[in-house]
Structures are given as C-alpha cells and as structure tokens.
Amino acid sequence: MRILPRGRRKETVILFLSTCSVLGFVKLNSVIDAYPRRSINLEGASKAILLNKNYTPIMIQNSTKRIKTSVNNVTFESTSSKSLLQLVTKSAHSETLKSSIQSPGSTEFTLNFSVSAALQYGHFRPQKGFLTIGIPSIKRERFNYIYKTIDSLLANSSPEDKETVTIVIMFNDDDADWNNERALNVSETYDEYIQSGHIQVITLPPQLYPDFNLIPRTYNDSVERLTWRSKQNIHYAFLFRYCHNISDFYMHLEDDVVAAKNYIQDIRKYKRIFMNNWFLIRFSNMGFIGVFFKSSNLLTISDFFLLFYAVQPCDFLMNIIAKIKLQEKEIRFRPSLFQHHGIISSLKNKKQLIVDRYFKGTKIVRRKKYYNLNPPAEVDTTMVVYEEYTADKAYFINEKYFWAISPQKGQTYTVVLKEQQTLKALVIVGAFPTKKTDYIENGEVQISSSQHCSDWIKLGELTKGSFDTSKVKNPDIAILLRNITCIQIEVTKSQSNWAIISELVLKLNEEKT
C-alpha cells in the first residue's frame, strides 16, 4: 500500500494496526533495516497510523482507493472490533492530560496526567534551566538506593550547577502509601534543595492499567516480566511529559547510580550537545542510565513509549526511535559519568551485578559471590566485632563483611529467622578476597528447628572458614534442612588471627539454582 510520494518517505514512519494485534514497523527506507520485519495480513479495511516529521499522529484508513484522514484524536472501526488511540500533544504542564490506548484483547488503559496531582514537593523555577535529571524510583524488596544516588548527584556538582539543573525524582510504585512516605522523607532530608527548586519530588497519580495477562507476550517474557517492563515504559512516558519544558536538555537516570565528579561540567564541555545533528547521547555505558535528549523531543518520545509500551522494553524502544529520527550511529561519551551500584532490581528475584568498566570515578569491584536476598532474620554474635563490620554485614546485601577480633572457643555467630524456612542449600563464605588469611580456623555449623534455638543439630565443620551443604556427604541432608528456625556457627578452638565471614547464604527450596 503506497500512501506517500517517494520524496516524503524519510519524514514518515508507517505503523500498521490490525484488529487483533500491533504488527510493528514497515520499512522506512534503510533506516530500520536492522530490525526484523513481520509479515502483514490485514482483515477488512487496511489501517495505518502515520507520524509526520514532527511526530503528530495522523490516522489513515484505506478502503480500496479511498483514503480518509483525521489528526490527533483518532477513532477507527472495523466490522469485527473497535480500537481507540489517542495521543495528546498538549503541554506537559497543562493541568490535566489524558492519553487513552485500547490494546487488542485488553481493558482500556488511560494515562492520567496532572501536574498538581503529581508535584508533591518543590517548585518550578521562573526561568528555563540547562538540564533536567529525571529519576524514577520503585520499591525494591527490602532495599533502597535512592538516597545514595541523590547524595552523589549533589556532592559531585557545584553551586553554580545547582542553579541551572533540576532533579525530578518520581516515586511510581503501585503502593501509593509507599510513594507518599518516600516523597515526604526525601523532602525532609533535602529540604534546602527542595526550597531552592533544585529538587522536585513527584508521585505517579493512580493509574488504571490494562490486563497484562491478555496482552501478547514478546521475547518469550513471563507475564510478570511483561507487566514490569510495560509499566516501566508507561511510567517513563509520564516522567518525560512532566519534564519536557523545565530545561533545554533532559537526562534519564535510575535510582541506583553514582555520579562522577564534575559530571555537569563534563556534559557542558561535550561540544556535540550544542549541535543539531543528534537525537540521543549516552553518558553511561549501561542500559537506560545517562541517556541524554533535547527536551523538545520529550513529548515525541513519550507518545512513542505509550504507543508501544507492551511491545518492546524501554532501551529497545529508545534505539528504534533514534533510528527513526535518522541517528544512524550511537553517540557515546567516554569515560562514563554514571556508575550502576544497585544489586537488587525492582523486578522480583532479579539481581544486577554488572558495573560500567568505563566509569570515570572509582571503580566498583564486586568482591562477593552471591549477594543473596536472604529471608528476614535477626543476626547476632558473641565474638568481638571490629568497628562497623557487624554480624549483619555477612547476612544482608552490602559490600562489607563480618569481621571478628581473635575468635575464642565457644563464641558464636547466630541467625534467627523470622519464619521457619525449608532450605535447598546453606552456603558460608569465609575470607574476603583482600584478606585471604582471615577466617574461622576451627568451627562447626549447626541448625535448629526449635522456636527457642535449642536442640542444635550439627551439619558439618568449616573448611578454611567456608561451608556448603551441597558438599556434605549425608543422605539425610535434605530432611535436615526442613523447617529451619536458627542457624549457628560455633568456634571450636581459640585463635589469634582475626576472622571474616563474607557471606551466609540461604537458598530457599523454591529458588532456582
């Protein structure tokens, strides 16, 4: 189906919608040749959405030779179903804005946008700034990185930078109480910057999401992962709309990063940002961290994310729209100005251990092996603890470890679980890589199913401070690991050397190895 004259093809991308599914892109000259093409079988009248040079949505319905068009608010019908697509391009600082998308086979999704409902703390400055930094934040299981991220951004920028930069922190979890509590805490912690306009704290107004169980899965993702990444796209689209008119440029971060020293000055010195022939610049080597746009493009990107929120993950969408905008080659600043330091993802049971090796600042070296998310527990010891290297450092996720001064016979390290657990494995890692001789030289591992941590059962002995139930030659080991309430390491012989426990790992029975 040829719709446009040959000369205008580079200004237009054709997106085909059938009555049953979003089918994807049709070839845009050679711009998106790298992406897989899909066969197209349309029932009834052919339908297309065109995005012109300014990415204003235009609907075209082709019935034989007749072409009908309408602009912005679009409703189109077929004999078998009805679909609705509204992409609204009003100012992001309009009081109320709604974009409705009815995905095939799902309930209607409406993006509710209201500045007054979103902005909780802070204010807009009278003049447009240089840069807006957008940081979405969602609840992670028993972990929170946002304060370290904010501290790093503040510590590594100058007072002059703070006058022309706005940091927008968006709490966008499904738990509204969590959002409000975090927003209040951030406002109290950083009140000086809230008052100056350097920091704004917003929350995502309640959204009525589609039924993700009914949306076709892509990349063979589970429904849980599809839901997570689809919501992420919707949340980012909201943040883009909110930030589009605050500054000349926009940069997207995650809530678990640290910044390099003088990162704002490095961005200003990068001459390419003041040129016109780019759409996207990356100031980090990882995912959706340090992604830099012109603010004038934020509404376009927001519309694009809303259109394909359930089809592609955010970083894939970003690569696609960059090619649509005719940026063939990636533009990446090195050294990277932002480092990923978080471990626990907002997606349940997902861990991120990778770091950016091109980071300008101090390298983060992962010295632990597991970074396991253990079940809730109280951790204590009768050993003499060295400074801040307390007993909990070996059990909960962090970069430190438990360090004891010359353990003596009979001293213990004890974990009391909040709830009984059936374990698949119990692993203890002794000495730290930088202190390989510091470990409990003689000790045994014990477990108990008693509520009062009595009737201890010996599982085995430490070997150079380490232990792994998978190496225990006991046919009853699986039975012994049922309904555990307490775990204990007991020193069986005094030593003069100090001792480290790097990690104590409880692999629960339902977990994958």
Give the helix/strand (H/E) hosting 195: helix 191-196
Q: How confident is the model at residue 344 (pLDDT cuts 50, 70, 90)?
A: low
Q: What's the CA gap between 260 and 66, in Å, rounded?
A: 58
Got the DSSP string for 1-45? ---S-GGGGGG-EEEEE-SS-EEEEPP-TTTTTTSPP------SS
Please report the pLDDT score of residue 276 as a whole number: 86
Query: Greater confidence, 434 or 402?
Result: 402
Out of 43-57, 329-343, 443-457, pick the least confident: 43-57
Beta strands in 18-164 (DSSP E): 22-25, 46-51, 57-63, 66-71, 73-77, 82-86, 97-102, 108-113, 119-121, 129-137
Yes or no: is domain 97-340 CATH 3.90.550.10?
Answer: yes
- Please tell me the total number of residues recorded for the chain in this structure: 513
**Res 168 pLDDT > 80:** yes
pLDDT at position 371 is 82
Q: State the pLDDT at residue 512.
A: 41
pLDDT tens profile 38-75: 222 222 332 333 333 333 333 333 332 222 323 233 33
Q: What is the mean pLDDT of residues 402-414?
A: 97
pLDDT in tens, 78-117: 222 222 233 333 333 444 444 444 444 344 566 778 888 8
Average of pLDDT values for 130-159? 89
C-alpha 100/C-alpha 78 separation (Å) is 19
Nearest to 466 by CA among 498, 502, 494, 497: 502
Least confident range from 33-42, 154-163, 167-176, 249-258: namely 33-42
Instruction: State the distance between the two ends of the chain, measured CA to CA, in whole angstroms.
Output: 51
CA neighbor of 99 nearest in space, from 244, 307, 312: 307
Domain chopping of the chain, boundaries: 6-86, 97-340, 377-508
CATH fold label, 377-508:
Jelly Rolls (2.60.120)
Q: Hey, which of 92-96, 136-140, 173-177 has the most confident mean pLDDT?
A: 173-177
- The mean predicted confidence, pLDDT, of the chain is 78
Band of pLDDT at residue 190, cut at 50, 70 and 90: very high
Q: Which residue has the higher pLDDT, 145 or 155?
A: 155
